[in-house]
């Protein structure tokens, strides 16, 4: 889809509705994210943030309107999209090393039947270095803390050299070091032209790291530049009137 001169759309939501079978979850989403930009998906539990991420991966169907990812359908774009699930959705007892997890990010590029090349190993090592866990390469994934596991999953995504990165609540339950590392990695990826979609309950993160926000609660309550879109009125509408508090230039949801 044509955008402002010199900017390429990474993600276009064009009056898109998404449903699980007959159950509509998201309706009439509308907005554009450009290359090298990050968008925060903000909304209460059950708002449909994870569902939108799944729709961007082509895992949940668009039943009306259109979702365009990297200039094509979510299915076709899949090769250039990396997804970081919530770390606690993976079995920590699975016997796999940190470096093996990160190398999984290369497999879409190298194919499952070929052995990783020296260049693949370099990409994986650089990704692990970028999230500050190079010295943990040989450790078993399950022995790491929740925040460290989240960083390893991010390294797996970075190793894939995606054009679009999808992060599902990456800051949930992670310590300050992991949060800082994830934010730095997001910034570095954006600098290389990668677009980022991040679902979060943390409005401060949206202010810090995201150019745009999409306010969601089954419907869209706003989509646009972060500061202009995160208004108390819109947040109140998104969160169904729950308590909000203004701290400096930030709006904090105190009850959800």
| Tokens linked to 8 | 């390429």
Rounded Cα gap, residues 148 and 141, in angstroms: 9
Q: How far is the CB of 37 from ligand ATP (least distance, A)?
A: 21
Count other C-beta atoms under 10 Å from residue 240's C-beta: 10
Q: Given candidates 50, 73, 100, 145, which one binds ligand ATP under the rule CB under 6 A?
A: 50
Our finding on whether 92 is near ligand ATP (CB under 6 A) is: no
Window 151 to 180, contacts with ligand ATP (CB under 6 A): none
Kindly indicate which of the ranges 31-39, 41-49, 115-123, 239-247 contains the residues binding ligand ATP, using the contact rule CB under 6 A.
Answer: 41-49
Kindly indicate which of the ranges 48-56, 128-136, 145-153, 182-190 contains the residues binding ligand ATP, using the contact rule CB under 6 A.
Answer: 48-56
**Do 84 and 102 contact (CB within 8 A), yes or no?**
no
Our finding on whether 88 is near ligand ATP (CB under 6 A) is: no
**Helix 146-159 with 176-191: angle, nearest 10 deg:** 10
Q: Given candidates 2, 6, 22, 23, which one binds ligand ATP under the rule CB under 6 A?
A: 23
Contacts of 29 (CB under 8 A, 6+ apart): 13, 15, 16, 17, 18, 52, 65, 67, 214, 216, 220, 223
Q: How many residues interact with ligand ATP (rule CB under 6 A)?
A: 11
The binding site for ligand ATP (CB under 6 A) comprises 20, 23, 25, 43, 45-51
């Amino acid at each position: 889809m044509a955008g402002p001169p010199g900017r390429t759309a990474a993600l276009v939501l064009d009056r898109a509705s998404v449903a699980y079978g007959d159950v509509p979850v998201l309706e009439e989403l509308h907005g554009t994210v450009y290359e090298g930009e990050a968008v925060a998906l903000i909304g209460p539990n059950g708002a449909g943030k994870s569902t939108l991420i799944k729709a961007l991966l082509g895992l949940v169907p668009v039943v009306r309107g259109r979702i365009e990812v990297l200039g094509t359908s979510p299915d076709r774009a899949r090769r250039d999209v990396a997804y970081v699930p919530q770390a606690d959705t993976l079995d920590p007892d699975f016997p796999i090393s940190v470096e093996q997890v990160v190398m999984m990010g290369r497999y879409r590029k190298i194919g499952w039947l070929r052995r990783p090349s020296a260049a693949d190993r370099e990409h994986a090592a650089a990704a692990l270095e970028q999230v500050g866990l190079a010295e943990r390469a040989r450790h078993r994934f399950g022995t790491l803390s929740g925040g460290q596991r989240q960083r390893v999953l991010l390294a797996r995504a970075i190793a894939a050299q995606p054009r679009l990165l999808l992060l599902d609540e990456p800051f949930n339950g992670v310590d300050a070091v992991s949060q800082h590392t994830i934010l730095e990695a997001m910034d570095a990826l954006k600098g290389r032209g990668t677009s980022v979609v991040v679902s979060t309950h943390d409005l401060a993160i949206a202010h810090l790291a995201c150019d745009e926000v999409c306010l969601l609660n089954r419907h869209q309550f706003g989509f646009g530049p972060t500061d202009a879109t995160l208004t108390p009125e819109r947040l109140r509408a998104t969160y169904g009137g729950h308590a909000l508090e203004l701290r400096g230039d930030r709006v904090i949801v105190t009850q959800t």
